C-alpha cells in the first residue's frame, strides 16, 4: 500500500471561486451580509487544516430567503420553459469554465480524488445539457374522450418552491440533479447542503448568481447553510415547500418522510445503499476485478453506490480474492489533489472511528479481515480499505457502514446467491458479472435483483445521467436525474374541453333537468 502526502496549493482556487476567509451561508435574491448563526469551520480532511469559515443561517435568515424565493416563484413559473432552459444552458457553460477549480474544491473539502472531483462537476454539466433539452420536452398526453365533441389531455405545471437537502459525499452533483431539472420545470430551489462541505455550496451559489443576475432572475436558486434543528426543521415543516428532496441515511429519511408526510407534502428520498455484486464462475475475472476495485475503494467507500458485498462463485472465489488483495496493495492513498492518488481520506474523524468500530464488531462476530482495516497515523483521516471474508448470515452485512469495507461471501448456486443478495433492507444498486444469458436475465427478472439499479458486467457505481437514479426498500423509492424523473418536480393536471355545445355525461349517465 503506497501512501502519498503532497500538500495542495489552494489560495488561487479559493479566490477564483469567491471563497473568502469568512463567507455568508445564506443567499436568496442577494447574499445576506451577516447571517445570524455562528461560524462553521471547514477543514481539509487530508491534512486537518482550516480552509475557510461560513457564517450559518438562523430562523430570521430562513424567513428572509424563503420569503424572497416564494415571490420569485410566482414570476419564474410563467417564464416559458425554453427560456428557462436557455438560462440553464448558460449555467452549464459557467460550470465548464469553473470545472477545474470547482472540482479541486470538491476534492479539497470532501476528500475524494481530483479525478472524481472533476468528474462530479462534469456530471453537473451533463445534467445542465440534459435539462436544456428537457425544457422543450415537458410532454403531456392526449387521451380519447368517450364523449362526442370533447378533447381530453394532461399537462404539467411547476410545483413552486422545493427544498433540496444534500449529503457530504456528492456535495454538488446531487444538488444539480434536483436544482437544474426543477428550474426548467419552473420551480425555485432552496438548498441546504451538508455542514461538512459548506464551501462547495458557496462556490456553486456564486456561479449561479452570476448567470441569474445577467437575466434579472436572482432568487431562482437559494442557499441556506445551517443546522438540522434550525434550517432543516423549518424546511420540513414549511407548507410552501411542495417537495423536499433529501439525500442521506435511512434514519434521516424516515424523519423527513414523517414530518413532511404529516403535512401531506411530497418527498423524494435517496437513502442508504448496501450494494452487492455477484461474480459467476464464467465471468471475465479481469473485467470484474477492475469494476470491484473502483466500486469498493472509489471515494474511499463513501458513495451510496459503493460495493459493500461481493458474492463469488466457489469455483473462482480463491483466485479472485487473491487477485483482489494484490490489487488493493497497489492503491495509492494520500492527498486527493495529487494526480497519483487513487484513494483520499474519509471525510472526518467521526467517519474513521465508525469504520474502526465496525472492524471490531466484524471480528467479534467471526468475520475474517484478510486485508486492511487500519488507520494511517498521518495528518488527516486516512484508512486502509478492508476486505472481509464473511458468512452470508453475518448480521453486520445488513448494515451500511459508510467506509471502505468489502464483505466477500462464497456461493454455489444462482438461486442461493440471489436470495442472499436481496436479504438486506436497502435496495439501491446491484450488479452481476457473467457471460451466461440465462444467469443475466434471471438477475434482471422479477425474481432477480430487487434494487432500483441492476447492471450486467459493470459495477454498481458510475450511473449515467440519462437514466433515473434511485432505489427501493429502505433506499427510499426516489428517482432523480434522467428519464422521466422530471415529473417529481411538477404537478399533473387532467384537462377536458367541451366544444360540442351539448353536455353528455361520462359512463353513459343521464341526468336530464328542465332549465331556462
| Active-site residue list | 270, 304
- Write a three-state SS string for 101-123: HHHHHHHHHHCCCHHHHHHHHHH
Q: How far apart are alpha carbons 347 and 299 in whole angstroms?
A: 10
By the 10 Å C-beta count (0-12 exposed, 13-18 middle, 19+ buried), 233 is classed as middle
**Is the alpha carbon torsion for 271, 182, 20, 107 positive or negative?**
positive
Assess contact for 57 and 231: CB atoms under 8 A.
Answer: yes
- Residue found under cell 475475472: 285
DSSP states of 327-385: HHHT--BS-TTSTT-SB---SSHHHHHHHHHHHHHHHHTT-EEEE---B--SSS--B--
Say which DSSP state 79 is in: S
CA geometry: angle at 10 spanning 6 and 13, to 5°?
A: 140
Cell of 131: 435539462
Assess contact for 165 and 158: CB atoms under 8 A.
Answer: no
CA geometry: angle at 48 spanning 45 and 52, to 5°?
A: 90
Q: What is the largest CA-CA distance in the chain?
A: 91
For residue 232, which of 189, 176, 191, 187 has the smallest C-alpha distance?
191
Up-side HSE of residue 108: CA atoms within 13 Å toward CB?
24
Assess contact for 354 and 383: CB atoms under 8 A.
Answer: no
Q: How far apart are alpha carbons 200 and 223 in whole angstroms?
A: 11
For 474-494, b/e burial (b = at least 16 CB within 10 A) is bbbbbbbbbeebbebbbeeee
Amino acid at each position: 500500500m503506497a501512501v502519498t502526502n503532497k500538500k495542495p496549493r489552494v489560495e488561487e482556487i479559493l479566490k477564483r471561486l469567491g471563497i473568502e476567509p469568512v463567507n455568508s451561508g445564506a443567499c436568496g435574491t442577494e447574499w445576506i451580509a451577516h447571517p445570524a448563526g455562528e461560524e462553521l469551520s471547514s477543514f481539509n480532511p487530508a491534512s486537518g487544516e482550516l480552509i475557510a469559515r461560513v457564517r450559518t443561517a438562523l430562523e430570521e435568515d430562513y424567513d428572509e430567503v424563503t420569503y424572497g424565493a416564494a415571490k420569485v416563484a410566482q414570476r419564474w413559473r410563467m417564464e416559458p420553459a425554453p427560456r428557462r432552459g436557455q438560462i440553464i444552458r448558460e449555467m452549464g457553460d459557467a460550470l465548464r469554465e469553473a470545472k477545474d477549480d470547482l472540482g479541486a474544491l470538491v476534492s479539497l473539502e470532501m476528500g475524494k480524488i481530483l479525478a472524481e472531483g472533476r468528474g462530479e462537476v462534469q456530471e453537473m454539466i451533463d445534467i445542465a445539457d440534459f435539462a436544456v433539452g428537457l425544457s422543450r420536452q415537458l410532454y403531456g398526453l392526449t387521451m380519447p374522450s368517450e364523449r362526442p365533441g370533447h378533447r381530453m389531455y394532461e399537462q404539467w405545471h411547476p410545483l413552486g418552491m422545493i427544498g433540496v437537502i444534500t449529503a457530504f459525499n456528492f456535495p454538488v452533483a446531487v444538488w444539480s440533479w434536483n436544482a437544474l431539472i426543477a428550474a426548467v420545470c419552473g420551480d425555485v430551489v432552496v438548498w441546504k447542503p451538508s455542514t461538512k462541505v459548506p464551501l462547495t455550496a458557496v462556490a456553486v451559489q456564486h456561479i449561479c448568481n452570476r448567470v441569474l443576475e445577467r437575466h434579472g432572475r436572482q432568487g431562482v436558486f437559494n442557499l441556506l447553510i445551517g443546522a438540522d434543528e434550525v434550517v432543516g426543521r423549518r424546511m420540513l415543516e414549511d407548507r410552501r415547500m411542495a417537495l423536499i428532496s433529501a439525500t442521506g441515511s435511512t434514519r434521516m429519511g424516515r424523519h423527513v418522510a414523517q414530518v413532511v408526510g404529516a403535512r401531506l407534502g411530497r418527498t423524494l428520498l435517496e437513502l442508504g445503499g448496501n450494494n452487492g455484486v455477484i461474480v459467476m464462475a464464467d465471468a471475465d475475472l479481469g473485467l470484474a476485478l477492475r469494476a470491484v476495485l473502483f466500486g469498493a475503494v472509489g471515494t474511499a467507500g463513501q458513495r451510496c453506490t459503493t460495493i459493500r458485498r461481493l458474492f463469488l462463485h466457489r469455483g473462482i472465489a480463491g483466485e479472485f480474492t487473491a487477485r483482489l488483495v494484490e490489487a488493493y496493495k497497489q492503491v495509492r492513498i494520500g492527498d486527493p489533489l495529487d494526480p497519483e492518488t487513487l484513494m483520499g481520506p474519509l471525510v472526518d474523524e467521526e467517519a474513521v472511528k465508525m469504520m474502526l468500530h465496525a472492524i471490531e464488531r466484524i471480528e467479534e462476530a467471526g468475520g475474517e479481515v484478510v486485508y486492511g482495516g487500519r488507520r494511517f497515523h498521518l495528518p488527516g483521516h486516512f484508512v486502509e480499505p478492508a476486505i472481509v471474508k464473511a458468512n452470508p448470515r453475518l448480521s453486520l452485512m445488513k448494515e451500511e457502514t459508510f467506509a471502505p469495507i468489502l464483505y466477500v461471501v462464497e456461493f454455489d448456486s444462482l438461486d442461493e446467491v440471489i436470495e442472499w443478495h436481496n436479504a438486506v433492507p436497502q435496495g439501491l444498486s446491484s450488479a452481476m458479472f457473467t457471460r451466461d444469458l440465462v444467469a443475466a436475465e434471471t438477475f434482471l427478472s422479477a425474481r432477480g435483483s430487487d434494487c432500483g439499479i441492476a447492471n450486467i458486467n459493470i459495477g454498481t457505481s458510475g450511473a449515467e445521467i440519462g437514466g433515473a437514479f434511485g432505489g427501493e426498500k429502505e433506499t427510499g423509492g426516489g428517482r432523480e436525474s434522467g428519464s422521466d424523473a422530471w415529473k417529481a418536480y411538477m404537478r399533473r393536471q387532467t384537462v377536458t374541453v367541451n366544444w360540442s355545445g351539448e353536455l353528455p355525461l361520462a359512463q353513459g349517465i343521464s341526468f336530464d333537468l328542465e332549465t331556462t
